[in-house]
Every structure is written in C-alpha cells, then in structure tokens.
Amino acid sequence: MNLDPSKLLSKATERLRDIKMTVRKSALQKLIKVYQDYCRKCYEGGMTINDHFEEIPCKIMMLCYDKDCKEFRSQNMEFVLADDLFPEDLLVGERTNHWIHMFSLFSFPHEKALNTILTEKRRFQSEMKNYLAVRKKLKEICPEETQKKIESMFKRMAAFFPDSHKAEECLHKLNQIKDNSVFKSLEKLLEGQAFTTIGQTMKDKHLVKIGDSIPHYEFIRPFLSKCSSNIFSSKHVQCILDYLSNNENGNKDLEDSAANLLLAIVRNFPSMLKGLEKQFQKLLEQKSPVNDKLIEVIAKAGPHMSFNHSDIYPFLKRICLDGTRRQAKFAWSAIAALSFEQSVFRKLYEELIDSLYSERNVPTILQSLGCFAQYSVSNFETRDEEITSYICQKIIQMEHLDDGHDATSFHDTSQCSKSCQLKIYGLKTLVKISLHYEGSHVKYNINGLLDILSRMLWESDNFVSTATDSCENDKAHIRLAAAKAILRLSRKWDLHITPEIFRFTILTAKDSCLFVRSTFLSKTQKLLKEHKLPIRFACAFALAVTDVIDDLQYQNYKYIREFIKDYSIVARKRQTSAVQGVIFDYPAYILVFLIHVLARNNDFPFEVCQDEKMYADLCSPLFFILQALNDVSIVDGDLDIVNDAVLHVVSIFRAIRKVEDAVDAQMTTKLHMLAEIGIFTLNELNHGGISVLRTPGQVLLPSSLYRASSCSKYPKSFFDENFLSRVFHVFKKSTLPHGYAQKTAKTLPKHGHKGQQDVAKSNINIYGVPDLASSKLDDLSKREIANAKTVRPNIPSVKRRKCVPMAGSGSVGLHECSMIEKQQKLASKHCGKTIERNMLSSSDSVSSKGSLSESHVPIRKSKRAAACSLENAVTSSKRAVEPFKCPRTKLKDTCGSKKHDMLADVSNKSHFNLRKCK
C-alpha cells in the first residue's frame, strides 16, 4: 500500500470498468478491502488522508450508472456505502473526515449518484412510516380499504429492493406478525437520528423476531439497513459543523466540500439538524466563507429547527438588505421556512422600499422585493403599484443608469454593463411580482409588462446606452432577458401572450448572437422537460435548425428528439380519457403554431414562384419537424406512435387548408401553401402510404390564430407535383445526418398491431373533404381581453428588423386557454366543454368528421392525386424510415457587431405604446 499507490490504484480502479462482469465484481470487493485497510491506518496514524485512496469511493459511486448489472444499481450501492465501505468499528468522526475529503473530489455525476441513493432511502423510510401509521389505525378504518392501502405501500417499498417480487412477499409476511413490540422497535429505528451499524441493529431483541418470522436473511439485513441511519446521521452533521467551526488550516476547498456535504444530507434528511441550532447559529456569526450555503441549509431544514426568532432574524434581515442576490434569495426562503409573524414582514417591507428609493444595494433589494411578493402576498399588495411603477420608470425605461453601484452585487451577469444588469434585475422582479398575481383577487396589468417585453425583443436599442463599449452585448442580454421572461410568464399568463409576442419570443432561436440563441434554446428545453411551458414554444427548436454552429445544431437535434419522445409518451397515456379530437398535447400540434409563424416570413411570397431552393430554405423548419415526427428511432421503434403522429399531422394540414388567418387575412394564402407543401413532404417521407386504423374526428385550432373560412369551396392547389418533388429533393440535399444510428422499420419491434391484418385496404386522399356539417365559430366575446391590441413598433428603417403589416387596426382577441392548464385538466369531465369554448373546432368547419378510412370522397386518379395521398394499408413493417436529418444553412453570428437580424423574418415597422405598470 505504501509503494507508488497512484499507479497501482489507477490500474485497480480501471478494472471496475472491465467488460467482464465477474472482473468488475471482484475488483469492487478487493477495492473495498483496500479502502477499509486505508481507513484503519489513517485512524491509527500510520497514514494521512490523501486523494489517491479517496478516489476509490468516487469510482465505486460511478457504478450506479452501470445499467448492465443489477448488483451495481442504486438499490445495492446503498448497502455498499452503509455497511461495506468503512470498517464497522470506525468512529463517526473519522468517517466524516473521509466523507469531507472524498466530497471535494466529487463531480456532478458523483453528487447525482449519491443524491439518488439518499433519496431512495428517504422515500423508503417515509413509506415505512406511513405503513406503521396505517397499521396503528387498523381497527378504526375499513379493513378492505386499509388492506388496499397497505398493498399499494408494499409495492412501492418493494421497488427499492434488488428483487422486488421477493421483497413484496416478505413485507406481507412482516404484516402478519402479531407482536406489536416489533413494530414499535421499527418505529423507533426509523425516528432515531443516531448512527447505528447493521450489526448493532440486528442485535435488537425485538427486531430479531422479524428474522424468526421471515427466514430470508437476504431480505432481513437490507430491510433493517434501509430503516437505519447508517450512511449519515445527526452525529455526522455535528461533526461537519465542528469541522467548519474549527477549520484551523483554512483549507477553502475542504471547507466548501464540508458545506456541500451538509447540504446533500439536509436536502434528504433535514431533521438531522434538530438539536444543533445553537452550534449552527454560532457558525453563522463567524462570517464564514460558506455562509451562502449555510443560509440555504436553513431554507431546507428550517421547519425542523427550533431557532429563537429574535436570535436568527437580525442575521437574515441583514442578508436581505446588504447581502448578495443569491444570499437574499435563500434568506427569504429561510424566513418563510421559520414562519415569522406577519408584523415582521411588514416592517422589513418598509425597509426594503426605503432602500430602493435611496438606491442602496439595488440589485439585492430588487431580489428581496421579488421574493417578498412570493412569500407575503397580503403585505405586498399594499404598495405594489408604487413599486412596479418605480421599477418601470426609474430602472427599466431609463436610457442610462448610474454605474456607481457596488460592483460586487453585479457579478452574476457577465459581459454587459452594470446599467444593463440592473435593468435585467428589475425585469426579473416584475416577472416574480406578476407570477404572484395570477389567480389573485387583485387585478394586475400584465399587458403593461408584456408591452415592455415586446419592446425589449423588438427595440433593444432603446434600453441600452449607445455611448458604452458594451452596447451590442447589452442589446443581446436585454433580448435574452425578455425572451426568458416570456417563457416564465407563459406558464400562468399564456392567455395574454399575443401571437405577435409569441413570434418575437421564439424567433430568439434565430438571434444573431450565438450566446443568446444557445441560452434561450437551453432554457426552453429545460422548461419543456419539466412540463412548465406550453407545448407551442417547442417551435423554437424547428426555427433553430438552420444554425451553422455544429455543436448548437447537434444540441438542438437532441432537444427535439427528447421533446417528441417525452410528450408522445405522456400524451398517449392520457389518450383514453381525452376528448375526441383534442390533440394539443401531442408533439405534432406545434405545427399549428409553426405554420402561423412561418407564414409571416417576409421572404415568403404571396404569389407562387418556381424557385424550389427558396421554398426549401423557408420551409426547412417544417421539414425538420415532419422528419422528426416520422422517425421511429426517436420513440424506440414504436410504430403506433409514429402512425398516430402522421395521422395528427394529416388532420392538422387538412384543417388549416379550410381556415383563414385570424390575425391577418392576407396571410391565408401562405398558410394554405405551407399546408400543401407539408402534405406532400409527409407523403414523400412515408413513401406514399402508411398503415392507419383511425384518425381524429376533429381538430381543435386556436381561435386566436385561425378563423372559419368565409369561402365554402375547398382551396385550390398552388403547386404542381413536379415542382414539389424538386422542393423535396432540395430538402434532402440540404440535410446532413448526425451521428445517430438510424433504424429502419424492419429492424425495429412492432407494438400494438394486433388485428391489423383484418383491416381492409383503401386509398385516402389527403386533399379530399368529406361532407361537412354547417358550423359556427365559437362565440368567445365574453373572454376577450380588455384593451388587448396589436402592438406596432415605430422603428427607424436603418437598424430595425422587419414586421408583417397586420390587417386592420383592431385588437387581437386571445380566446385560448393556457396550454399547460389544458394539459393538466385533460382528464377532467369538464375538459370537453372548456376546450370547445376556447378553441376553433375543425370537426364542422375545418376538418373531417369521422374516420378518414370511412370517407366517401371520390379519389382522383391522376398522378398528382396519387402522390398526395396515403394508403390505408398494413405496410408498417415494410416501411423504410427516412433518417432524421438537420438542414445545413449558413447563419452568421454577429453578436457584438452593430447590426443584428434576430427578427429578419419579420417585415414592416409599427409603434409600441409603452404602458406603465400600475
């Protein structure tokens, strides 16, 4: 062990990644023995703690990501950390020292693996506590109902064991034990925060009875281990606090590591801080470099701690007024967690307002005001108009702000001036305030904030000082901040976001600055993944397809794959309870919004021309989405999902060809052209046919974008087949496949095709229209937004983007519900009524009613019709899948230059009347 440990350990730990499973298992056992021997020598003084040996548990932690071996899954790795890693007789203080040192070597994957293990342990213990509580009330509750609850709990608990079936069986045997002392001992074990080894637990005289009743040692040992505080305990927490208080050598890395370890423990087991309040408070008074993390600890564990409010409040108040923005954020969480009286909030509110007016540490004050609106609603409403008006007039709309503020407060927004940073902080505060108001009984002028954001996206020049060297960077940061603010607001105020504001926002994906578009796409992907964003914002991924930067194009490709796979699965799970024709939570539904945006591209001609390259470039986002929806490899080879997507797309295109543009009737021709190109492209991607069993009887379109056509005749075809074939050929030539292996339908498993062999074959003419019943557009005048108007920026012609002229000068009524609210309420019995009130139905006025396969429309026998139809034949298993590719076009990154073209797609200029936020 004392001979060149670095090389020996490096070679040994590499065996953990060996191809052979037996080698990996053997390497794990031997490395654990080496680490135990090393821990003993450190305790005896024969060795000092060093990185070479502390790398062993780091490498072991990475085994959690080995999906090939069930022995390395988190359920088993918990036992390695709890029972095997350290010598059983090693003191808690020594264990803690090793944990602190190894934590300093952790990267994000290590922390994630440890958090997974601790989270599973916490969830198991929580389920076990619930079971014991239900068992106590066994006589009070209906036996049948209780039994169902217990069975459900056992299934969830069994999932945390390597062999879930055996575990569930043993848990049922546990439930049959009549001796209540056994369950009292289990309850005591679960509630206790003291450190216990598995050997000590197994010696408990009452718990021994479990082993007598359940003769499965492979279950009893891990079961009791999961119930114990044997990885971390309150003693570990105390040792960490001691280390932070007595860090005499001043090792900052280890100090940060100790604070991070404390946070990792408290996130899952906050009650382990109980009883250590005085020691923790003394540490806060030392003004430690890790105070930020200690404040976060209070925010996490506050409800479980018994602080004297008069002792801790002065510290938290000082942070809210004089600390950094990050510190203030966690200080407010801590104040909320500790449940201070409302009088405390009122006094602090007055001090915050005074500090704002006196321009004292403004960035932190803005952060605190935003948090105050979140945590103390009633108090904030007393002076809300005053604050929002001040922020709008004195911070956001001022052309140039004094840069004399404390520079340390501006460290977290880089590469832009302090004046720009302060405007962004003010904007963030307004967004937090507006999010607090949604659903409140108090009216809030959200349109005033949306007007500001529109101007930031459209006229960023008006929000920065042109005299500074960072002018272009400031403009880019202003645009990005505005776009991200719209994303946040859309979760609760989506009804108020007009089609124009939506278009401005997603066109940030085509911003001239690489930093802006990459950050915006990343934020969009994050919110969509968390299902905190209306599905229509995924259109940004399609618009970003033309990015010339390979890394960003590759990342965008991953985003769209994740989005389609995730939302397809979720939508299909809700399919059984969905209202007929309601497909707005399917990925294909973003085409409804994408086509509306593409039609407003100033380069898209109103009249048909024979330039296939131009149409291919303009429609590349549409092609990108259609190709992705048609790629079975994205959905793990589930052909049913792809077939459903194709049917939804067909219905959407047919519906759009029967409506007019509700915002600008002049754009209707472009909408129909795009739908025709989309239909032809879809047909070509499917090689002229696809298996179909059904199609949505109706498609609901947003009445804020589309209205029923005044013309009863079906729209004409704009293009001939040969021209569309050339456009499609350009599409294919302008794409380059990424490094993903594409699978064909032949090599992929087929799901859910039972009975398809009995389906009769028939041709489906996409352009054909079944008999349509007479229809009327839903009357939604009661839900129109007062004072909603079409915003028209007044922009000089030299440095401004172009905007499409809107037909008429009237207001644009927003008739559609928040998409997120619709998705959450989809299974509700009232969902159908809600949707019908707020969406334009295509079942009567736009699209076909009933199955396409039952349509009696005469089928054209021309070559043109044949090319633009889908066959209702069982050809799924034979269908070759077009590889999903990304178009490659040039997009020049002009971030930092004097000219930017974020909204180059948009034409003409109009004027925004900026309303004050009052």
Q: CA 649, CA 75: separation in Å to the nearest integer?
A: 43
pLDDT of residue 740: 37
For the ranges 362-366, 430-434, 746-750, which has the lowest average pLDDT?
Answer: 746-750
Tokens of 591: 């085409």
User: Whole-angstrom Cα distance, residue 397 to residue 34?
Assistant: 65
| Angle subtended at Cα 597 by Cα 593 and Cα 600, rounded to the nearest 5 degrees | 150
Give CA–CA dist 710/658, Å, rounded. Answer: 9
CB 899 within 8 A of CB 558: no
Q: How far is the C-alpha of 488 from the C-alpha of 520, rounded, in Å?
A: 12
Q: Which residues contact 566 (CB under 8 A, 6 or more apart)?
A: 529
Least confident of 77-86, 481-490, 532-541, 788-797: 788-797
Q: What is the mean pLDDT of residues 214-230?
A: 81
Confidence bin at 445 (pLDDT 50/70/90): confident
> What was the pLDDT predicted at 202?
66
Specify the higher pLDDT residue, 266 or 908: 266
pLDDT confidence of residue 696: 53
Tokens of 314: 């002065």
In contact, 53 and 85? CB cutoff 8 Å? no
Share of the chain above pLDDT 70, in %: 70
Long-range contact pairs involving 107-113 (C-beta distance under 8 Å, separation at least 24):
109/62, 109/65, 110/58, 110/61, 110/62, 111/260, 111/264, 113/61, 113/62, 113/64, 113/65, 113/74, 113/77
- What residues contact 257, with CB distance under 8 A and at least 6 apart? 100, 101, 103, 104, 106
CA distance 381 to 429: 14
Please say whether the beta carbons of 678 and 618 come within 8 A: no
For residue range 728-739, list pLDDT tens digits in order: 888 877 664 443
Nearest to 901 by CA among 912, 890, 911, 910: 890
Would you state the pLDDT for residue 792? 34
Write 201-205 long-range contacts (CB < 8 A, 24+).
201/225, 201/227, 201/228, 201/230
Does the pLDDT at position 772 exceed 80? no
What's the confidence (pLDDT) of residue 468?
61
Query: Which band of pLDDT confidence, cut at 50, 70 and 90, is reported for residue 433?
Result: confident
For residue 246, the tally of other CB atoms under 10 A from its CB is 8
Is 736 strand, coil or helix? Answer: strand
List pLDDT tens digits, range 615-666.
888 888 889 899 889 888 888 888 888 888 888 888 898 889 888 889 988 8
Whether residue 165 has pLDDT greater than 70: yes
Give the pLDDT band (50/70/90) at residue 695: low
Q: Look up the pTM and report it.
A: 0.73
Question: Can you state the percent helix, strand and coil of the chain, rounding each to 5?
Answer: 60, 5, 35
pLDDT digits (tens, 9 = 90+) for 65-110: 887 777 888 888 899 998 899 999 999 999 999 999 999 999 999 9
Q: How far apart are CA 419 and CA 403, in angstroms?
A: 6
Under DSSP, is residue 765 helix (H, G, I), strand (E, B) or coil?
strand
591 pLDDT tier (thresholds 50, 70, 90): very high
pLDDT above 90: residue 917: no
**Tokens 């490659």 identify what position?**
888
